[in-house]
Amino acid sequence: MTPAISTTLTGGAASPPVSMGYSVGNPVPPWKSSLDAMCDALDLEGTALPLLTRRRNEDCLSDEVYAAVPFPERQLLALAHSLIARSVIDEAALAERMAVVRARLEGH
């Protein structure tokens, strides 16, 4: 597990507190549609991560590494893990972007 991903896990699931903080009744986090679109794009192109490979890896990581994490976050973490492991995305850039998003959500 990468440091950026394990940092995310120590904070717990992000969607319930965020949704409650903004009086949002829908428990599905707002980033879920972007995650689905990213997975669809990866599946369509299949160049960075072939569809069946990505799905198998995601299922395996979800069951073995991220089992204690709620569903939408588990899917996101498994995808990030797969993309970092294949050098599709850089972990330092991901950690930096996560800090920017977290600061925005926390109002800093």
**Tens digits of residue pLDDT in 43-86:** 776 666 677 777 888 888 888 888 888 888 888 888 888 888 88
Q: Confirm whether 95 is domain-assigned.
A: yes
Q: Confirm whether 60 is domain-assigned.
A: yes
Separation between Cα atoms, residue 23 and residue 55, nearest integer Å = 33
DSSP 1: -
Higher-confidence residue of 50 and 104: namely 104
Structural domain of residue 68, as residue ranges? 30-105
Give the chain's mean pLDDT.
77
Cα 39–Cα 42–Cα 45 angle in degrees, nearest 5: 145
pLDDT at 15: 47
With b for 16 or more beta-carbon neighbours within 10 A and e for fewer, the 65-81 pattern comes to: bbeebeebbbbbbbbbb
Mean of pLDDT values over 39-45: 78
Q: Confirm whether 15 is domain-assigned.
A: no
Checking if the pLDDT of 102 tops 50, the result is: yes
Q: Confirm whether 98 is domain-assigned.
A: yes
The whole-model pTM stands at 0.65
Separation between Cα atoms, residue 66 and residue 54, nearest integer Å = 15
Q: Confirm whether 70 is domain-assigned.
A: yes
- 3-state secondary structure string across 29-98: CCCHHHHHHHHHHHHHHCCCCCHHHHHHHHHHHHHHCCCCCCHHHHHHHHHHHHHHHCCCCCHHHHHHHH
Higher-confidence residue of 12 and 93: namely 93
pLDDT at 13: 45
Number of domains into which the chain is organized: 1
Checking if the pLDDT of 39 tops 70, the result is: yes
Q: Confirm whether 44 is domain-assigned.
A: yes
